[in-house]
Amino acid sequence: MAVIAIDARFYGTEHTGLGRYTTNVMAHLPGHLQGQTLKVLLRRKYFETLKLPKNCEKILCDIPHYSLAEQLLIPQYLKTNACDLLYTFHFNAPIFSKIPTVITVHDLIKSYFTGSDTTTRAPWLYSLKRLGYNQVLEKTLTHAQDIIVPTNTVKNQILAHFPTVKPEHIHPIPEAPDPIFRSPLENWKTGKLHLPEKYLLFVGNAYPHKNLQILLDALSNLPNENLVIVAKRTPFLSRLLAGRDLSRIHILSDLSDSDLVSVYKNAKSLITPSLMEGYGLVGLEAMMVGTPVIASNIPVYREVYGDKVTYFDPRSVSDLIRVISVGARHASPAKFIFNRSWSHVSQSIAEVVNESCSRLRSTQ
């Protein structure tokens, strides 16, 4: 029986995508690792309230992500608790630890998108954080026992950038929509959002790789369309909206589960114009409630969505306008059934972790 540390400090939906991923996996992963002893690293916010099975011991680890303290102190936690393996929900494993790791790499977006428009930090601080990102990413990828990724697209990007990584140690494990999209739609009671009867929908953040600007540019040439943006109000979003006519743009933040499902369901279509992603949950969520999806023609979306969505050139405003105009006349598709659940995701992760433990025992 191995002692496995699980860095679950991202637990909680306040961490958006990473938080939902961590929360959904932790709901099932301990049950798929019953033969192992699990030491779960948690922030103070969830340390008392999170209930875990008997094979888990909670370790209070209120250390900020992406910090120097993370790199220096977590190795001490692992050594003190006699851990044999560390499993992380992100790439930011401590590079000074000698304990083998299984890491998760959701995407390589920060490796492709750089520069002043991708940050709100001062130039000197941004340069320092870029240096740390590059060093940690390279060290963790090249030294990890195993690497979990959401798609073959991300796997191929890793192999292209880090040729010393062995392909057989990278495991594509597709994600699953949040459980709220599996409940019958009639179970959700809609709040008073005061939205147009029908609208185009964007769900995500306003980082440059999300390519929200092309959708805003298209909207200015579609006078009969309204746009709902579900995103946190950040400096990135403020930059994109500055100087634009906001009369047909509606910003929603911090929605309840009921309202989020309702916003998806009542949209004319979901537009996801990203230039790069690790997966594509927003499109699956839309399809699960019967909302058509218009997606950028990028490899990861082709892998995840197949022929179930309408694609457009993410560099062409005119192509997006054309697709929206044509797509608006299409009948809503039948509700999409996506059978993969977070229990399936967690079971696949457990298989990787158990296999990694087996390899460790065979070398001891």
CATH number at residue 79: 3.40.50.2000
pLDDT at 157 over 70: yes
Measured distance CA(25)–CA(10) in Å, rounded: 11
pLDDT at 336 over 90: no
Measured distance CA(114)–CA(116) in Å, rounded: 7
> Is residue 334, in this structure, part of any structural domain at all?
no
pLDDT at 363 over 90: no
**β-strands 249-252, 170-172: how paired?**
unpaired
Instruction: Give residues with Cβ within 8 angstroms of 224, minimum separation 6.
Output: none
Query: Do both 23 and 158 map to the same domain?
Result: yes
Q: Say if CB 100 and CB 149 are below 8 A apart.
A: no
* pLDDT band, residue 328 (cuts 50/70/90): very low
- Domain of 137 in residue numbering reads as 3-176+342-363
DSSP of 101-155, one letter per residue?
EEEE----HHHH--SGGG--S-HHHHHHHHHHHHHHHHHHHHH-SEEEESSHHHH
pLDDT at 32 over 90: yes
DSSP of 160-199, one letter per residue?
HH-TTS-GGGEEE------GGGGS-GGGPPP------SS-
**Which two three-digit tokens encode residue 246?**
């906001």
Measured distance CA(78)–CA(101) in Å, rounded: 11
Query: Do both 167 and 185 map to the same domain?
Result: no
pLDDT at 23 over 90: yes
**Which two three-digit tokens encode residue 123?**
């130039």
Task: Give the model confidence (pLDDT) of 285-294 as tens digits.
Answer: 999 998 999 9
Q: What residues pair up with 149 in beta bridges, in sequence order?
A: 172
Measured distance CA(101)–CA(328) in Å, rounded: 48
Number of domains in the chain: 2
Query: Do both 195 and 291 map to the same domain?
Result: yes
Measured distance CA(200)–CA(206) in Å, rounded: 16
* 139: nearest Cα among 59, 75, 77, 84: 75
Task: Give the model confidence (pLDDT) of 246-289 as tens digits.
Answer: 999 999 998 888 899 999 999 999 999 999 999 999 999 999 99
* 36: nearest Cα among 343, 352, 364: 352
Query: Do both 315 and 356 map to the same domain?
Result: no
Please, what is the average pLDDT of the chain?
A: 92
Query: Do both 62 and 185 map to the same domain?
Result: no
* pLDDT band, residue 126 (cuts 50/70/90): confident
> Is residue 332, in this structure, part of any structural domain at all?
no
Region 356-364: mean pLDDT is 83
**Backbone φ/ψ region at 28: left (φ over 0), alpha (ψ -120 to 50), beta:** alpha
* Percentage of the chain exceeding pLDDT 70: 95
Task: Give the model confidence (pLDDT) of 80-117 as tens digits.
Answer: 999 999 999 999 999 999 999 999 999 999 999 998 88
* Percentage of the chain exceeding pLDDT 90: 79
